[in-house]
């Protein structure tokens, strides 16, 4: 018998084992397939991220001349809607725009525009050229005129125009004013004149294809009053400075008799304070209320300030000296401060800078021709009454 036929070849599996191996591989693949699918799904989810924001662009242009462009309103329509206001040079910008087709339309009271609108397409870039408009004043030039009465308040009054345009003019000797060269639009007229109030304080007016006349105002003078008085005796009052504080501030100088006056004071509460070198005043100041009438007899009394001094003397040095220095302090035993500006040549000195009620302590030193000082002398004390 040839047993070699029935033997398995080296490295091969029996048929039954081959079948088992194949079946096992198939089952394993069936188990792993769902796992691979789940893993693949998980990979897709984890791969998602935040998308960058879409790119945006701008549209810009200008309106000329500046008189019609400055403050003009620009309206954007089409792919998006927005409004913008031209700056003082007539320039405007719309930003944050996506690609698309837009229409830009300008408007400004009192002006027409050429062209009335412009279409523009944004396609991946800013639009910075070719989007310009020309403004033309409507209806030609017009005027606003009127009278400010009575003449005393109107003559020379300043009249200020604001609104679509700004201007100022001065009323003539009769109180008449005239503002010319105005385009259609809304304006406000306001008069002013030092010492006067006006009724009404301002007036709004619309120019629409015609001149405006009869825009009148009434001026009323501020009612003002005076504060007066005398500082006596004349020796202390003459030339005294008098300060006014409170509802208004001012200063004046008393005349040779000590009389003073403040004028042009409105109703209110004031404080009057006199001053003059070498004098004190009673009272120091006075409160003065004004209520529809002048106030007089706001008087003060001036008292000369008593002059004090300390007279010092000492025994002259027996050595040859160029002079002496005088030192003063306010604490017993010093420190001391030099009070003479140049060497004192003799053995005496008068200190005229002392104050009442203060005690002073003095020492002196002798100074030779080389500028060398001696030690301090004995201390002396002076109490000023």
What's the pLDDT tens digit per position in 162-178? 998 999 999 999 999 99
On whether both 120 and 101 belong to a single domain, the answer is: yes
Q: Per the structure, how many domains does the chain have?
A: 4
- Residue with the bigger pLDDT between 243 and 18: it is 243
Task: Write down the pTM of the prediction.
Answer: 0.39
Band of pLDDT at residue 4, cut at 50, 70 and 90: very low
What's the pLDDT tens digit per position in 347-384? 999 999 998 889 999 999 999 999 999 999 999 999 99
Of 205, 221, 237, the residue at which a domain comes to its end is 221
On whether both 317 and 361 belong to a single domain, the answer is: yes
| Closest by CA position to 138, among listed 196, 201, 206 | 206
Q: For residue 227, count other CB atoms closer than 10 A to its CB.
A: 22
Q: Which domain holds residue 255?
A: 225-304
Residue 37, domain member (yes or no): no
On whether both 270 and 207 belong to a single domain, the answer is: no
**CATH code assigned at 165:** 2.60.40.10
Rg (CA), the chain: 50
For residue 48, pLDDT over 80 is answered with no
On whether both 211 and 279 belong to a single domain, the answer is: no
Of 275, 304, 333, the residue at which a domain comes to its end is 304
From residue 228, how far is each of 164, 259, 280, 282 by CA, in Å? 50, 8, 20, 16
Give me the percent of the chain exceeding a pLDDT of 70: 86
Measured between alpha carbons, how far is 188 from 219 in angstroms, rounded to an integer?
18
On whether both 240 and 274 belong to a single domain, the answer is: yes
Compute the average pLDDT of residues 46-64.
80
What's the pLDDT tens digit per position in 90-107? 999 999 999 999 999 999
89: left (phi over 0), alpha (psi -120 to 50) or beta: alpha
Compute the average pLDDT of residues 60-84.
93
Residue 51, domain member (yes or no): no
Residue 11, domain member (yes or no): no
Band of pLDDT at residue 194, cut at 50, 70 and 90: confident
On whether both 195 and 239 belong to a single domain, the answer is: no
Residue 41, domain member (yes or no): no
DSSP 68: H
For residue 209, pLDDT over 90 is answered with no
- Residue 383 makes CB contacts below 8 A (sequence gap 6+) with 358, 359, 360
Residue 201, domain member (yes or no): yes
First to last CA, the chain: 160
Q: For residue 58, count other CB atoms closer than 10 A to its CB.
A: 14
- Residue with the bigger pLDDT between 43 and 149: it is 149
Residues 241, 251 contacting (CB under 8 angstroms): yes
Of 82, 103, 137, the residue at which a domain comes to its end is 137
Band of pLDDT at residue 195, cut at 50, 70 and 90: confident
On whether both 207 and 252 belong to a single domain, the answer is: no
Helix (H, G, I), strand (E, B), or coil: what is residue 303?
Answer: strand
On whether both 156 and 96 belong to a single domain, the answer is: no
For residue 18, pLDDT over 80 is answered with no
On whether both 285 and 344 belong to a single domain, the answer is: no
On whether both 124 and 195 belong to a single domain, the answer is: no
Give pLDDT, residue 49: 54
CA max distance for the chain: 168
Residue 243, domain member (yes or no): yes
Compute the average pLDDT of residues 52-72.
90
Give pLDDT, residue 50: 62
On whether both 153 and 217 belong to a single domain, the answer is: yes
Residue 255, domain member (yes or no): yes
Q: Where are the alpha helices (DSSP H) in the chain?
A: 15-46, 66-69, 151-154, 234-237
Residue 50, domain member (yes or no): no
Give pLDDT, residue 35: 38
On whether both 344 and 359 belong to a single domain, the answer is: yes
């Amino acid at each position: 018998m040839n047993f070699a036929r029935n033997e398995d070849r080296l490295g091969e599996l029996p048929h039954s084992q081959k079948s088992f191996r194949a079946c096992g591989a198939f089952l394993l693949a069936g188990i792993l397939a769902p796992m691979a699918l789940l893993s693949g799904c998980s990979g897709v989810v984890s791969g998602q991220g935040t998308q960058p924001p879409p790119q945006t662009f701008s549209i810009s242009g200008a309106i000329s001349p500046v008189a019609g462009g400055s403050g003009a309103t620009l309206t954007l329509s089409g792919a998006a809607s927005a409004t913008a206001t031209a700056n003082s040079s007539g320039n405007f910008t719309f930003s944050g725009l996506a690609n698309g087709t837009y229409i830009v339309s300008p408007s400004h009271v009192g002006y027409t525009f050429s062209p009335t609108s412009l279409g523009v397409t944004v396609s991946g870039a800013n639009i910075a050229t070719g989007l310009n408009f020309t403004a033309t004043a409507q209806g030609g030039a017009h005027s606003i005129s009127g009278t400010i009465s009575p003449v005393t308040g109107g003559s020379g009054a300043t009249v200020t125009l604001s609104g679509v345009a700004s201007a100022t003019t001065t009323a003539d000797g009769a109180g008449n004013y005239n503002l010319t060269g105005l385009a259609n639009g809304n304006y406000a007229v306001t008069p002013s004149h030092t010492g006067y109030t006006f009724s009404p304080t301002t007036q709004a007016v619309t120019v629409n294809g015609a001149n405006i006349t009869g825009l009148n105002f009434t001026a009323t003078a501020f009612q003002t009053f005076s504060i007066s008085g005398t500082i006596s005796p004349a020796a202390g009052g003459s030339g005294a400075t008098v300060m006014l504080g409170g509802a208004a501030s001012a200063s004046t100088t008393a005349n040779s008799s000590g009389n003073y006056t403040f004028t042009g004071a409105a109703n209110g509460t004031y404080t009057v304070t006199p001053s003059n070198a070498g004098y004190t005043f009673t009272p120091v100041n006075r409160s003065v209320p004004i209520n529809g009438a002048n106030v007089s007899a706001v008087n003060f009394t001036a008292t000369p300030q008593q002059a004090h001094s300390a007279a010092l003397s000492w025994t002259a040095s027996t050595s040859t000296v160029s002079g002496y220095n005088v030192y003063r302090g306010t604490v017993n035993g010093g420190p001391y401060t030099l009070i003479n500006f140049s060497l004192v040549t003799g053995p005496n000195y008068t200190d005229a800078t002392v104050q009442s009620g203060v005690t002073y302590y003095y020492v002196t030193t002798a100074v030779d021709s080389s500028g060398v000082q001696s030690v301090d002398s004995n201390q002396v004390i002076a109490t000023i009454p």
